Structure 1
C-alpha cells in the first residue's frame, strides 16, 4: 500500500499538473517526487498520470482513487490536529465555506452562537463562489459549505437549512404582481459566477444583452443597492440581508407569490468531526427557521 507521503505527492501533482511545481510545493527535489510517484504506480498496479501530454493528465485509474486520496489526506490532517490539541492545547480547526450573498449576514449572526456551542474548535469561515466551494469540499479543504440550492451532486451529503425570501430593491418602488412589471426597469447584477446573478437572470427573464451595460467584478450587494439609489433600476435582495443601513421603503415584495431560494449545507459524512457539523446545521436551522407553508416560488441558482 502507498504511504501518506505518496498521497501528498500524488495530490500535489494532480493539482499542479507539473513535476517541478509539485516538487516545490512539497519542498522536495523533482527526482525525489518522481521516484515516489513511480513507486506508487507500481504498488497500485497501473499508470496514474499520462506524461505524454503537457500539462500532464491523470489517468482513469487515478480519477477512480482520487476521492480516497482526498479522504486519506484529510484524515492525516485531522490526526495531526488532534495530537496537537492533546499535547499543546491547540484547538482543532473547523473550516466553513459560505457563498458571499449568504456570508453577509450568516457569519455575523452565527459566529457567537457557534463559538459557544463548539468551544473545542477554532472556527474558520471562508467566502467563495459556488463552484469554488464545491471544488474545495471535494478536496476536503472545507468541512462544510453553505450555499444556495437546489443542487444535484454525488460524493457528499446535502442538508436543507432554511428558505429565504427574495425581494426587489427599487429606487422608485411600485406594486409588483409578476416580473413583467420590471420590463422597463434597468437591472443591476453581481459578477459572473455569482449565484444571485444567475437567480436574477433566470427569475426576471433577462437576456444577456440586458445585463451587459456595466462590468462589476465583485460580490457586494451593498454596491448594487447604491447603484440603484443613485441611478435607478432594481436589484434582488435576500430578506435576511442586513437592512439597517438602507432605505427599507425601497424594498418591494411580490404580491402574487413569494420568490425564494433554498439555502443548503454540503458536507462529507465520513468526517471525523461529523457531530460538530450536525451542531452547525442544527444551530443555523434554529436561527433562520421560517414558515414552510408559504407559497414559495423557488429561484434556481444555476
Structure 2
C-alpha cells in the first residue's frame, strides 16, 4: 500500500462519497475507486460499506482509518523536520481563528508577520471552536487561536493573553452611573448574547446568573455580530458584554457606555493551540512572538479571573 492510497481512503472516510473525495484529491473517481479497491484486495477486507448511503466505514475500516491518519500525518512531517533543521521558516501554514477574535486580533499582527516571514504562506480560516478542534485532530489545521482552556487530550495550548470582559450599559439603565460594576450586577435575563456556537456566548453564560423571578423573553435573537448587540442595547432592549479588544475601535459616543469590572476582572484566556505531534514549531514560535509583541501594549491586565469557554451543561 502507498501513502497516496491511504490519502484516498481518508478522503472517502471524511466526505462519505467517492466522487466528492476524488474531486478533493484532484483525481478521477475511477482512479480513486481503483486504488481503494487495490488496498482492500491487498488486506483482504472491506474498508467501506458501499451498500449504505452515505457510504459508511466497516468496523475494521474505522480502525484502518485511525491508523492511516497517523501514517499520513507523520509522512507529511518529514519536510517539517528538514525545514526545522535548516532553520527555514516557510511553507504553507493553516491557521484557524474563532469569530470573536478574528476581526480584532488579525489586523494587529498579520501585516507584521507576513513582512517578517515572507516565505510562510498563511491559510487562515474563521471557524468556531468545535470545528477548530475537529480540524486540528484530523490534520486539516496546523494551529488555531481560540479561547481556552479546552482540556483536549491531543491539543497543546500556549497562552497569548488574557482579555477582560467589558459591559456595555446604555444610558437610562440603572447601572449606567456606576464607574465600575460587579459580576453580581449582571442579570442574564437582560444580557444580549451571541448566537449559539460562539464560545464567547458560553463565556457569558458561565459568568452570569439567571434571575430567580425571570420573565419570559420578549424576543429571541440569534446574531453573530457584536455591532448588532450594541445597536439593540442602544434601543433599550438590554445590555451586553464585549471582549476588551473590541471596545478599542468603538466610537467615542459609545465608549462612554462601557463599564469595566472590579478586580479580579472576569476575562477569557486566548491561546495559540496546536496538535501535540505538530512539528511546525518554528512557525508556531514565530506566530507566538509576533502576536505577543503587538498585544503586550494593548492588553496590560493581570489581576483577572478566567471564565471557561466550555458550553454550559
**Distance in structure 2 (CA, Å) of the matches to 1:211 and 1:150:** 31
**Distance in structure 2 (CA, Å) of the matches to 1:209 and 1:67:** 50
In structure 2, do the counterparts of structure 1 residues 32 and 300 end up closer, same or farther at CA, with 3 Å as the change threshold? Answer: same
Task: Note if contact 1:96-1:143 (Cα within 8 Å) is conserved in structure 2.
Answer: yes
**Distance in structure 2 (CA, Å) of the matches to 1:164 and 1:211:** 29
Q: TM-score, normalised by structure 1?
A: 0.82
Deviation of 1:10 after TM superposition, in Å, equals 0.9
Superposed CA offset, 1:263-288 (max 9, x none): 01111354453201111012222332
- The match for 2:261 is 254
**Distance in structure 1 (CA, Å) of the matches to 2:158 and 2:272:** 5
- The match for 2:70 is 68
Count the aligned residue pairs.
Answer: 288
In structure 2, do the counterparts of structure 1 residues 263 and 210 end up closer, same or farther at CA, with 3 Å as the change threshold? Answer: farther
Q: TM-score, normalised by structure 2?
A: 0.79
**Distance in structure 2 (CA, Å) of the matches to 1:100 and 1:19:** 32
Moved more, 23-32 or 11-20: 23-32
Runs of 4+ in 1 over 6 A off after TM superposition: 207-212
**Distance in structure 1 (CA, Å) of the matches to 2:11 and 2:188:** 52
Structure 2: tracts of 5 or more residues without a match? 84-89
Moved more, 51-60 or 207-216: 207-216
- The match for 1:215 is 221
Residues 1:167 and 2:166 aligned together: yes
- Secondary structure (helix, strand or coil) at the match of 1:157 reads strand
Moved more, 13-22 or 57-66: 57-66
**Distance in structure 1 (CA, Å) of the matches to 2:203 and 2:160:** 18
Deviation of 1:108 after TM superposition, in Å, equals 0.6
Task: Note if contact 2:189-2:217 (Cα within 8 Å) is conserved in structure 1.
Answer: no
**Distance in structure 2 (CA, Å) of the matches to 1:286 and 1:26:** 39
Give the CA RMSD over aligned residues: 3.0
Matches within 5 A, 1:182-201: 182-183=186-187, 186-201=190-205
Deviation of 1:49 after TM superposition, in Å, equals 3.0
Deviation of 1:43 after TM superposition, in Å, equals 4.5
**Distance in structure 1 (CA, Å) of the matches to 2:139 and 2:188:** 46
Residues 1:236 and 2:260 aligned together: no
- The match for 1:297 is 305
Could you tell me which of 277, 285, 293 is aligned with 2:284? 277
